[in-house]
Structure 1
Amino acid sequence: MKALRVEFDGDAPRLRTDESMARRGLVTTVSAPAGTAAVVGWAGSVRDRPAGARALLAAFARPGHLPPLPTGDFAAVLLYRDRVLLLRDRQARIPLFIKESGGRVNAVSTSARDLGGTTELEPRYFCRYLTGTMAQPHSELSPFAGVRRVLGGEVVELSATGRMRHRVTDRTLDTGGPPGPVADGAGPGQELRRALEQAVARRLGRRVACHVSGGTDSTSVALLAARLLAAEQGDGGDLVLLAGRYGRGELAGERPYLDEAVEAVRRQAPGVHPVIVDADDVADFDDFAQHAGDADEPHAHAFRAPFWSRLHAAAAELGCDTLLTGCGADPVVDANPFRLHQLARSGQLGEMTRQARVRSAASGQGVRDVVRAHVVRPALPLATERVTRLAHRGTVLGGLGHFTRPPWLLRRFARAHGYRAAEAAESRFVFGRAPEQSLYDAANYLAAPDPLSWRRAPRDGFFLSHPFLDPEVVDMMRRLPADVTFRPGRPKALLREAMADLLPPGIRERTAKIPFNEPYARGLRSHGDELIDLCRSARHPLTTEMFDLGLLCQAVREARLGIGDSHSWDRVNASLALVVWLEGLRTGQC
């Protein structure tokens, strides 16, 4: 989706922005004596996007001065007289790509497809993509040869004619920063409450939708938004509560919690508009060819797009300009399980064993399972997965984890295009040298994949935004010791403490949610034959060069029977999305 494009074909760059997105406030362009800034998304505050764009332009006006990037969901191009800066925030929600050859950038765009055109594809990208669902946002490669991604938290400086000068990443630029001071005697729960409230406040637009599922996370965001809007408006009439409701099956068990959440928000903001969308007729993989094929690059979570599309459409009809979710709370505000790895690495084996036993009792897992998942696997991720695969021979999906080569990815293609290097890079990203720190970076990409929001933005008028993944919230939680966040048998204990005065009792005390497995299983039952036919009829040359389509079809059949687990099903979903995306390229539909 081409929100902006910069071309370098003369002495000065030429900037073009999408007029319809500019009218809806999704692209903001400001000019000053120093230059021009075009910002897709928002920097600083959703409500005053022009002020955020002007602040970016002023902050980077002095050559050689690289200040911390502000909080926001944005990609920006800053045009000065003697240089051009390309920026993305650390959370990397809004894409930005460059087309480069010979050290010179020819064009910049928010669309890889726009820059790629009819150029050849980049096979290394597809190896990177197939290592896991987090690969896309933090990999420099794009699907098209010669087109590179500007990374999250990165500042790229070009000359006025497009000559590449330098790139600075978030490893050297401190983005976000810790929260400001709180009142004397404030505890961690109060700090979290303040940081989360400020994260919500930054994301409030003219009319705000909050996704509410009846869980602790989304309900907390909706309650804070209701309090803030009620304080401004009196009744919170510009708040929309958006929920998908199931009347039958396992997910019907979530309905009492959803009703309780809506009533709790109404107590804070009587004028709120609940929009409850019946979702019984929605299944994963509905219209899969459209959702997976009509995308700028392969979308691993396209199978879940039908549910989110229905909710997005309801919010768009009411004129919402922001949609807030509870995505990211699980890894950010819950006790960090890789604390066990840290204890083992520092030689505190007795304390590690004690904490592993406590976690085992609280989770129902065996101590060995806890240690294997949170100590052994982070230390030796690839070796652990390969051993697991050997122990689960007999099916295509048995033992297939995050990184190891799926059997349907042909060995010769994987060897020729760097799959081994890709799986090593992905495992380092997920676990890193300090897995307890890498968890937060990985969670940012895993918890909130929203290419669907990006693709639908021109018609909907909003992007999704995720307060729990705000840099201030993440940085604050990073600083807390493990004993503050870990309460056996009580997940997200600190969040419950922070929201104790607002969360209704039923939601505050619940410790588990019904998983979203039923729509997935129903979708495979309904569309399994169709998915297999899509694979069999695939004609893009790269599909047959890359995949053993017979094995991929067998993997779909096994997933349909419930064989495997969420990790292996993710690998199937991503591969199916890639097959459909390549067919879209071949036929010119995407």
Structure 2
Amino acid sequence: MEALRLQWAGGAPKLWTAGAMARRGLVTTVSSRAGTAAVAGWVGSVRDRAAGARSLLEDFGRPGAAPRLPTGDYAAVLVYRDRILLVRDEQARIPLFFSESAGRVSAVSTSARRLGGAADLERRYFCRYLTGNAAQPHSELTPFAGVHRVLAGEVVELSLTGRIRGRVRRRVRRAQDPPVPAPDGPRIGEAAKDLRLALENAVGRRMGGTTACHVSGGIDSTSVALLAARLLAAEQGHYGDLVLLTGRFGGGELAGEQPYLDEAMEEIRRHAPAARPVIVDVDDVADFDDFQHHAGDPDEPHAHAFRAPFWGRLHAAAAELGCDTLMTGCGADPVADANPLHLHRLARTGQLRQMAKQARAWAAGSERGLRDIVLDYVVRPALPLTAERITALVRRPGTVLGGLGDFTRPRWLRSGFARAHGYREASIAESRFVFGRRPEQSLYDAANYIAAPDPLSWIRAQQDGFFLSHPFLDPEVVATMRGLPAEASFHPGRPKAVLREAMADLLPSRIRGRVVKVPFNQLYTRGLRKHGDELIDFCRSARHPLTAEMFDVGMLCRAVREAQLGIGDSYSWDRLNGSLALVVWLEQLGRYSPAPGATVPVSAGS
């Protein structure tokens, strides 16, 4: 989807924005004597997008300025009298691409497909995509040769003629610096106060005129909705309306979530009686419903397109009520919970006795074996590719999905294609991103991409009028949790201990005390039962030449059949889902020609 576009005509930069998105507030344009800014998304606060865009324009327009990036979910093009800046926020929610040849940019857009051609695909990208879920947003490569991604937190400077002058990654400017831990480490109560303040600020920044909160009955989404309700009650009229959005399952294992959901709704409405509950019946929804549409329409292959039917049903309900933002509890699992990769730090710094003691506590608290804990959080981060290779050899006998982890080559990806286009190099790069030199810190960087893949929000934004937003992935919240020592956040048998303490005065006792939530496996198994044969037939009939060049289609179909039978695990199913989405995306690529829609020219000349 193209929200904004920059290109050159007669040697001068010309800027356009999508008229429909501008009218709905999804694109904001401001001008001053210094220049013009077109911003997709929001800067600083959803409620005052114009002020945020103007601040961004002024901060980067000062001579010699090198400001930190402001908080927000945005991609921006800033056109000054002497230069052009392409800016993208640190969370990478809103895409931004540019086409380049010989160091000169010919066009900039939020749509890679608008800039690239279906006949000239970048095969290295597909190797990177197939290494795991975190690959897409932090790799400069795109599916189209000559089209590059502005990376998360990056500022790309161009001359007025489009010549690239520099690319710099910047940190986010935070409302306040994260607390400095005391020498002996903060107690859980002190850590909880810091997290509560950071989360309140994150929710406040995302409140719009009509705000929807996804409520699932878990501690994460309920915490976000409760804080939104408190803000609404404290400043009536300033924060607008609140919609409580949830999906209801009448049968199956997910129906067991209903008592928690009812209690969450009751407590939220106690704080904000005017909040409107919107309960959407989703009993008939299954993963992979209308998979060709959800996987084929995005600019890039979308590994989580299989789950789009559920989210799409909720999005449609929020859109009907005119919501301008939708908040979720996504990201809390890796960000707000204790960091198990702390064990790796203890091991590499020689504190083996302490590591063994804490590993035993982790094993007891999570009801897992000590060997599995050490393997997952000490050995695997140190030697990720080797550990996966050994696991695959041990667990794979007779199956395609057995032992398949995040980085190892799936058996349906042809070895010749993998060798020719850098699959091993992509796996190494991906493993370094996920674990890095200090895995306990890299967890937070990778969590941003693993926990909240939401291309669905982007491609639906024009019709829905809002973007998904995730307070737990706010830079201030991440910085707060990143700064805590393990002792403050790890309490065996009590996951997310700091969050529970932070929300102790608001969470209902039933939700505050729960430690297990019903997963969405039901939607996945139902979807494979319903659509498995259809997916196999689609793969066998695929005609795009890259599909046969890349995949052993018979092996891929066998993997689908194994997943139908329940063989494999979440890692292997994720790899399968991503490959199926890629097959559909390639097949639709030559057939899909999106209508450009009405655009609005913006004065951006010098």
The alpha carbon displacement at 1:232 in A equals 1.6
Deviation per residue, 1:140-167 (Å, 9 max, x gap): 0000000000000000000000000000
Q: Secondary structure at the match of 1:13?
A: strand
Cα pair 1:336 1:482 within 8 Å, conserved: yes
The alpha carbon displacement at 1:169 in A equals 1.3
- The residue number in structure 2 matching 1:28 is 28
1:484-495 aligned at under 5 Å gives the runs 484-495=488-499
The alpha carbon displacement at 1:230 in A equals 1.3
- The residue number in structure 1 matching 2:43 is 43
The alpha carbon displacement at 1:188 in A equals 1.1
Q: Secondary structure at the match of 1:131?
A: coil
- The residue number in structure 2 matching 1:543 is 547
Q: Secondary structure at the match of 1:8?
A: strand
Residues 234 and 112 of structure 1: CA distance in aligned 2, closer, same or farther (over 3 Å): closer
- The residue number in structure 2 matching 1:147 is 147
Residues 237 and 504 of structure 1: CA distance in aligned 2, closer, same or farther (over 3 Å): farther
Residues 233 and 443 of structure 1: CA distance in aligned 2, closer, same or farther (over 3 Å): same
Q: Does 1:273 align with 2:273?
A: no
Amino acid at match of 1:132: G
Cα pair 2:178 2:476 within 8 Å, conserved: no
> Quick one: which of 466, 469, 480 aligns to 2:473?
469
Residues 150 and 235 of structure 1: CA distance in aligned 2, closer, same or farther (over 3 Å): closer
- The residue number in structure 2 matching 1:249 is 252
Alpha-carbon distance in structure 2 between the residues aligned to 1:236 and 1:18: 27
Alpha-carbon distance in structure 2 between the residues aligned to 1:505 and 1:247: 24
The alpha carbon displacement at 1:346 in A equals 0.3
Amino acid at match of 1:471: P
Residues 582 and 479 of structure 1: CA distance in aligned 2, closer, same or farther (over 3 Å): same
> Quick one: which of 181, 193, 197 aligns to 1:194?
197
Q: Does 1:371 align with 2:386?
A: no
Cα pair 1:73 1:93 within 8 Å, conserved: yes
Q: Does 1:443 align with 2:447?
A: yes
Moved more, 346-355 or 185-194: 185-194
Q: Secondary structure at the match of 1:48?
A: helix
> Quick one: which of 185, 203, 211 aligns to 1:208?
211
The alpha carbon displacement at 1:461 in A equals 0.1
> Quick one: which of 563, 571, 576 aligns to 1:572?
576
Cα pair 1:235 1:272 within 8 Å, conserved: no
Amino acid at match of 1:285: F
After the TM superposition, which segments of 4 or more aligned residues of structure 1 sit over 6 Å from their partners? 234-237
Cα pair 2:213 2:327 within 8 Å, conserved: yes
Amino acid at match of 1:4: L
Aligned length: 587
Cα pair 2:132 2:575 within 8 Å, conserved: yes
- The residue number in structure 2 matching 1:10 is 10
> Quick one: which of 384, 388, 406 aligns to 2:410?
406
Alpha-carbon distance in structure 2 between the residues aligned to 1:394 and 1:175: 52
The alpha carbon displacement at 1:8 in A equals 2.3
Moved more, 184-193 or 370-379: 184-193
Cα pair 2:207 2:239 within 8 Å, conserved: no
Cα pair 1:235 1:269 within 8 Å, conserved: no
- The residue number in structure 2 matching 1:387 is 390
Residues 333 and 142 of structure 1: CA distance in aligned 2, closer, same or farther (over 3 Å): same
Amino acid at match of 1:73: D
Amino acid at match of 1:406: P
Alpha-carbon distance in structure 2 between the residues aligned to 1:234 and 1:416: 60
Cα pair 2:101 2:146 within 8 Å, conserved: yes
Residues 234 and 321 of structure 1: CA distance in aligned 2, closer, same or farther (over 3 Å): closer
Deviation per residue, 1:110-132 (Å, 9 max, x gap): 00000003450000000000000
The alpha carbon displacement at 1:66 in A equals 1.6
Amino acid at match of 2:337: D
- The residue number in structure 1 matching 2:597 is none
- The residue number in structure 2 matching 1:507 is 511
Alpha-carbon distance in structure 2 between the residues aligned to 1:85 and 1:529: 49
- The residue number in structure 2 matching 1:340 is 343
- The residue number in structure 2 matching 1:427 is 431
Cα pair 1:141 1:147 within 8 Å, conserved: yes
Deviation per residue, 1:356-395 (Å, 9 max, x gap): 0011111111111100000000000000000111112210
Query: What are the ranges of 5 or more consecutive residues in structure 2 without an aligned counterpart?
Result: 595-606
The alpha carbon displacement at 1:589 in A equals 5.6
Residues 369 and 177 of structure 1: CA distance in aligned 2, closer, same or farther (over 3 Å): farther
> Quick one: which of 329, 333, 336 aligns to 1:330?
333
Q: Secondary structure at the match of 1:40?
A: strand
- The residue number in structure 2 matching 1:85 is 85
- The residue number in structure 2 matching 1:64 is 64
Q: Secondary structure at the match of 1:444?
A: helix
Deviation per residue, 1:522-563 (Å, 9 max, x gap): 000000000001101100011110000000000000000000
Q: Does 1:313 align with 2:316?
A: yes
With normalisation by structure 2, the TM-score equals 0.95
Alpha-carbon distance in structure 2 between the residues aligned to 1:369 and 1:178: 39
Q: Does 1:560 align with 2:570?
A: no
Cα pair 1:177 1:475 within 8 Å, conserved: no
Alpha-carbon distance in structure 2 between the residues aligned to 1:63 and 1:212: 46
Deviation per residue, 1:76-128 (Å, 9 max, x gap): 00000110000000000000001000000000000000000345000000000
Q: Secondary structure at the match of 1:187?
A: helix
Alpha-carbon distance in structure 1 between the residues aligned to 2:332 and 2:202: 13
- The residue number in structure 1 matching 2:267 is 264
Alpha-carbon distance in structure 1 between the residues aligned to 2:119 and 2:110: 17
Amino acid at match of 1:52: G
Alpha-carbon distance in structure 2 between the residues aligned to 1:466 and 1:237: 19
Alpha-carbon distance in structure 2 between the residues aligned to 1:176 and 1:455: 29
Amino acid at match of 2:316: A
Alpha-carbon distance in structure 1 between the residues aligned to 2:276 and 2:68: 38
- The residue number in structure 2 matching 1:108 is 108
Amino acid at match of 1:130: L
Q: Secondary structure at the match of 1:361?
A: helix
Alpha-carbon distance in structure 2 between the residues aligned to 1:315 and 1:588: 27
With normalisation by structure 1, the TM-score equals 0.98
The alpha carbon displacement at 1:271 in A equals 0.6
Amino acid at match of 1:460: D
The alpha carbon displacement at 1:180 in A equals 7.0
Amino acid at match of 1:7: Q
